Each structure stands twice: as structure tokens, then as C-alpha cells.
Amino acid sequence: MKSIEEIKAEIENFKVENAESLEQFRLQFLSKKSEIQSLFGQIKNIAQENRKEFGQLVNDLRDLAQNSYNRYKAVIESTTNTKTVEIPDITRPAARQTVGSMHPISIMMNEVRQIFEEIGFSAVEGPDIEDDWHVFTALNFAEEHPARDMQDTFFIKVRPDVLLRTHTSSLQVRTMESQQPPIRVICPGRVFRNEAITSRAHCIFHQVEGLYIAENVSFADMKQTLLYFAQRMFGNEVKIRLRPSYFPFTEPSAEVDISCNICGGAGCNLCKHTGWVEILGCGMVDPNVLENCGIDSNKYSGFAFGLGIERMTMLKYKTNDIRLYFENDVRFLQQFKAATK
């Protein structure tokens, strides 16, 4: 035992400063004729009850020597192989990092959601592939309604009643089926329609639709909600007007226009020289829709609205071609870095 402690002390105190002393260390402690190897030869002379303990101590001693040797060797090799390295100029300006940005559609979608969430609306999401009930039937679309025709809707060939949703109103149906009033939700998402692609229309676009159902909800409540949204989005000076319209799922229905913020009402291509730009459709939820979704239309009333994100983005950032948002031109998208911040 004394011999093991002495060798351990020698290993720990051995000074390795170069390749020669490293080799000396190896010969003294790790070679076949080393002191440690001789200890292994003495195991047979140890009493049977002490051999295991003695063997473990000798193994630990050999591991200590091997680990020390490896450490010394690594230090010497790194010192020997060190090459002259050019020290960089630390006063030189750092390389410019490329900073990405959110897509303008995502920026606008988040802004719209934030405005409505401020007044108590919560966002719900759902599938892009829907069935006929949630997209059309529950929303009071007659079987012969033109929106069911192939020129407007992408149907899935596997089943005739499965399609790509044409509006996010399907999420309103799902919400009304799963909960009772009061309901105050917005439904953001991507929708699909079989339309020709032009500067003002696309076969893929994004919507945010809203639904508010409670007792004694009036048309005036809807108008004030939409006025608040328009002024939060485009400024307090913006004006809105409501024009009578028709939707199968609302009655009465209206189209909402805002004063064109590109030409200031003087007339331009975007507003078709009228001074007004349509931004959304709205109306009071038809009682048939409430009953289809299991809500008592005698007790509850509500309003719904839907707006196109691409149209809102064109107005917000004063662009005149919807196709710009789908071409992924980096030169165009880089202009929205400031909006991302």
C-alpha cells in the first residue's frame, strides 16, 4: 500500500515540459517494465481476501498515469503544431447581418386580429378542407346558389361534398355548433376560389371574418364596431358608408366602403375614381343560420362581417396589384422590414 501511494505522488509531481520528459514519463509509469506493471505482477503474492482491493487500487493508479500522459501529450502537441495565425483587426466594423421580415399579409393579419382582440373578440382557427354543410348548407345557401358551381369553388374529387373552403364563415358555424351565446369571435385564415388572377383578384387569398351573438344585438352595434375598426386601422379621419347588399347568411346585409386613403377621395384606379373603396361585407345573422347551428333565434341575435386581408394590405401600404403579395419578389418584401419591427 505504501508503494502505491508513493507512485501516485510521483505521477502527480512529475514535471512534463517537452517531448523528452513526456517519453520519460511513459517509460517510468506505462511501459511493460514500469513500476505500475510490476505491481500487477505482485497480485499473486497478496492474500486472497485482499487481492480484489489491491487490484482495484493498481487499476486506478494505471488510469491516473494514462490520463496524465494523455493530457501532457495533448498540450505538447498543440504547442508544437501551433501555426502563425493572423490576428484580425478588432477595430474593423462587423459584417452586416441579413435581417428578414414578416410577409405583409402576416403583418396585416396580426394587426387586424389585435384591433378586434382589443374589444373582446377571440380568434378561432379550423381546417382549409371543409364539407358542404359548414361552407354552404348551414349558412343558408340554397342548392342552386351560384357559389356552389365549379366556376367559384374547388371541389375535392374524392367526395362531391368536400371542398376547399371559399370563406372562413365555416369557422363561425363550427363555433356556433360547439358553444352557446354570448359568442364574440374572429376567424382568420386562407380561402380558395376558382377565379381568374388579375391585379384585383386571386384564386388564393386571406380573410378575417367576425361573429357576435348575444341578446339584443342591433345593427347599430355592428356599425359602431366596424367604424371603430376602420378608424383604428386607417386613422380617425377615415369615413365609412354602408350600402345595401345581399348574403344568404345575413339579413339585412351591407357592403362597407371607406374613403380612399390613396387619392383622398379625388379618384384613382384603386377606387375606380369614386373616392370609396369596399373593404368588407356584413349583416345581421339570418335566424335560419342560428337555428341550423342549434341557437334559439327568438332569444339571441347577432351580426357577422368578413374582410379580405389582401385588399386591406393594398390600402394600408398603397399598392395597386394583389399579385405582388404572391410572387415572393425579395425586392418587394424587403420594404416591409420596418413594419415588422
Q: Average pLDDT in the 2-20 region? A: 81
Q: What confidence tier does 87 reach under pLDDT thresholds 50, 70, 90? A: confident
8 A C-beta contact, residue 195 and residue 206 = no
- Looking at the chain, list the stretches that DSSP marks H as alpha helix, in order from N- to C-terminal side: 2-13, 19-29, 35-41, 51-80, 104-118, 132-135, 169-178, 219-234, 287-292, 309-317, 330-333, 337-340
Q: Check residue 81 and give its pLDDT.
A: 59
C-alpha closest to that of 164 among 176, 152, 146: 152
Q: What confidence tier does 48 reach under pLDDT thresholds 50, 70, 90? A: confident
Q: Check residue 83 and give its pLDDT.
A: 55
Nine cell digits for residue 241: 358608408
Residue keyed to cell 505521477: 11
Q: How many CB atoms lie within 10 A of CB 110?
A: 12
b/e sequence 177-206, b meaning 16+ C-beta within 10 Å: eeeebebbbbbbbebbbeeeeeeeebeebb
8 A C-beta contact, residue 190 and residue 171 = no
Q: In angstroms, rounded to a whole number, what is the distance separating the alpha carbons of residues 210 and 272? A: 27
8 A C-beta contact, residue 255 and residue 221 = no
Dihedral (CA of 16, 19, 21, 22) sign: positive
Q: What confidence tier does 330 reach under pLDDT thresholds 50, 70, 90? A: confident
How confident is the model over 185-211, as pLDDT tens digits? 999 999 999 888 887 778 889 999 999
Predicted TM-score (pTM) of this structure: 0.66
How confident is the model over 219-258, as pLDDT tens digits? 999 999 999 999 998 888 888 999 999 999 999 999 999 8
* Residue count (the chain): 341
Residue 112 identity (one-letter amino acid):
V
b/e sequence 247-271, b meaning 16+ C-beta within 10 Å: bbbbeebbbbbbbbbbbeeeebebb
Q: In angstroms, rounded to a whole number, what is the distance separating the alpha carbons of residues 226 and 209? A: 12
In the chain, where are the structural domains located?
A: 2-80, 104-340
8 A C-beta contact, residue 156 and residue 307 = no
Residue keyed to cell 435581417: 99
Q: Is 215 a residue whose pLDDT tops 80?
A: yes
How confident is the model over 130-161, as pLDDT tens digits? 999 999 999 999 888 787 776 688 888 878 78
Identify the CATH number of the domain defined by range 104-340.
3.30.930.10
Q: Average pLDDT in the 16-29 region? A: 84
What's the Cα-to-Cα distance from 257 to each of 63, 231, 245, 311, rounded to whole Å? 83, 12, 12, 12
Q: Check residue 137 and give its pLDDT.
A: 92
Q: What is the DSSP string of 308-326?
A: EHHHHHHHHHT---GGGGT
Q: What confidence tier does 16 reach under pLDDT thresholds 50, 70, 90? A: confident
